[in-house]
Amino acid sequence: MPTVFITGCSTGFGRATALYFLDKGWSVFASMRNPAANTMPASERLHVVPLDVTDANSIADAIAQAGPIDVLVNNAGIGWFNALEGTPLDTAREVFETNLFGTVAMMQAVLPAMRERRSGTIVNVSSSTIYAPLPLLAVYRASKAAVVAMTESAAGELTQFNISARVVVPGLAPETNFAANIQERVAKGGWFPPAYTEFAQKTLAAFQAHPPEDITSTSDVAKAIFRSATEADCPSILPAGPDAEAWAAKQ
Give the Cα separation of 69 and 2 in Å (integer): 8
> What pairs with residue 240 in β-bridges?
170
Q: Cα 26 from chain centroid?
A: 20
Q: What is the DSSP letter of 213?
A: G
In terms of Cβ atoms closer than 10 Å to its own Cβ (0-12, 13-18, 19+), residue 223 is middle
- Please name which of 25, 41, 45, 33 lies closest in space to residue 7, comparing C-alpha atoms: 33
Catalytic residue among 20, 131, 140, 196: 140
Length of the chain, in residues: 251
Give the C-alpha separation, 40 to 43, whole Å.
9
Q: Is 140 a catalytic residue?
A: yes
On whether the CB atoms of residues 219 and 173 are closer than 8 A, the answer is no
Distance CA(186)–CA(95), nearest Å, equals 13
Q: What residue type is 158 in one-letter code?
A: L
- How far is 31 from 105, CA to CA, in rounded Å? 15
> Are 145 and 219 within 8 A, CB to CB?
no
- Known catalytic residues are 140
